[in-house]
């Protein structure tokens, strides 16, 4: 007798694939599975709300791909886990279901705020153009003020620092240690590592562990 496939099994499988590789195809597959689940949940308001929250994240991933904030994937995992809880035979009570969805709505707002911050950080890291700084000097005998550019020692870009750290660890290094050593934000380091793997600069030995190529 063939085992009946659970409703969310294809959705969860497509999410794992998306987590492994963020591409146009994996994003589209995940979106299709979300829409398929929407058709099956009927009038379940909370389940539909979770799907409505997940779809904009897919659009964000489609645009940013390797530059996407890691919290975007974390949000999708949280949404799917909550959706799974809602669809269990022992369904959540109305109050608990409402609270879980409300929490995700708040997380969604926080994520959108973080997305803006990460985009700004990555933009500065990519261009490598620090804002010019000036300082005023006391007026001369004629009462004139001069603006003098303040010379700043340009530090290496986050990308250079992260890759340098990886190369210095011949046996490889994990993400947590890399973040601690480099001093950069989690989202910045993960974005740099993702692009470096794509470009073949570094290799992924196992999940979360990398070595120079």
pLDDT tens, position by position, 132-162: 554 555 555 555 555 545 455 455 688 888 8
pLDDT tens, position by position, 163-187: 888 888 888 898 888 888 888 888 7
| Domain-embedded: residue 28 | yes
Q: What is the pLDDT of residue 136?
A: 54
| Domain-embedded: residue 170 | yes
Question: Which residues lie closer than 8 Å to 79 by C-beta, 6 or more apart?
Answer: 50, 53, 54, 104
- 167 and 103 share one domain: no
| Domain-embedded: residue 184 | yes
Residue 113 pLDDT greater than 90, yes or no = no
For residue 190, give the CATH number of its domain.
1.10.10.10
Per-residue pLDDT averaged across 193-200, rounded? 87
Which of 144-183 are b and which e, b meaning 16 or more Cβ less than 10 Å from the residue's Cβ?
A: eeeeeeeeeeeeeebbebbbebbeeeeebbebeebbebbe
- 100 and 191 share one domain: no
Residue 1 pLDDT greater than 50, yes or no = no
Q: What is the pLDDT of residue 209?
A: 87
- Which of 47, 127, 147 has the alpha carbon at shortest distance from 91? 47
pLDDT tens, position by position, 51-90: 888 888 888 888 887 777 788 888 899 888 888 887 775 4
Q: What is the count of structural domains for the chain?
A: 2
**What range defines the domain where residue 177 resides?**
154-212
Q: What is the pLDDT of residue 25?
A: 92
- 45 and 116 share one domain: yes
pLDDT tens, position by position, 7-52: 789 998 998 988 888 889 999 999 999 999 989 888 888 888 888 8
| Domain-embedded: residue 134 | no
- 164 and 82 share one domain: no
């Amino acid at each position: 007798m063939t085992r009946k496939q659970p409703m969310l099994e294809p959705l969860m499988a497509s999410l794992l694939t998306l987590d492994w590789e963020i591409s146009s195809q994996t994003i589209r597959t995940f979106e299709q599975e979300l829409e398929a689940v929407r058709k099956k949940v009927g009038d379940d308001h909370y389940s539909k709300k979770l799907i409505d929250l997940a779809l904009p994240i897919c659009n964000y991933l489609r645009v940013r791909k390797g530059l996407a904030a890691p919290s975007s994937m974390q949000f999708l995992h949280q949404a799917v886990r909550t959706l799974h809880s809602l669809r269990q035979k022992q369904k959540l009570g109305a109050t608990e279901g409402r609270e879980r969805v409300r929490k995700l709505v708040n997380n969604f707002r926080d994520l959108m705020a973080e997305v803006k911050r990460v985009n700004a950080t990555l933009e500065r890291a990519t261009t490598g153009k620090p804002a010019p700084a000036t300082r005023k000097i006391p007026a001369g005998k004629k009462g004139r003020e001069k603006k003098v550019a303040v010379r700043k020692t340009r530090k290496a870009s986050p990308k250079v620092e992260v890759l340098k750290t990886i190369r210095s660890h011949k046996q490889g290094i994990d993400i947590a240690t890399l973040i601690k050593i480099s001093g950069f934000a989690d989202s910045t380091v993960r974005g740099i590592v993702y692009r470096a793997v794509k470009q073949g600069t570094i290799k992924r030995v196992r999940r979360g562990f990398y070595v120079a190529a």
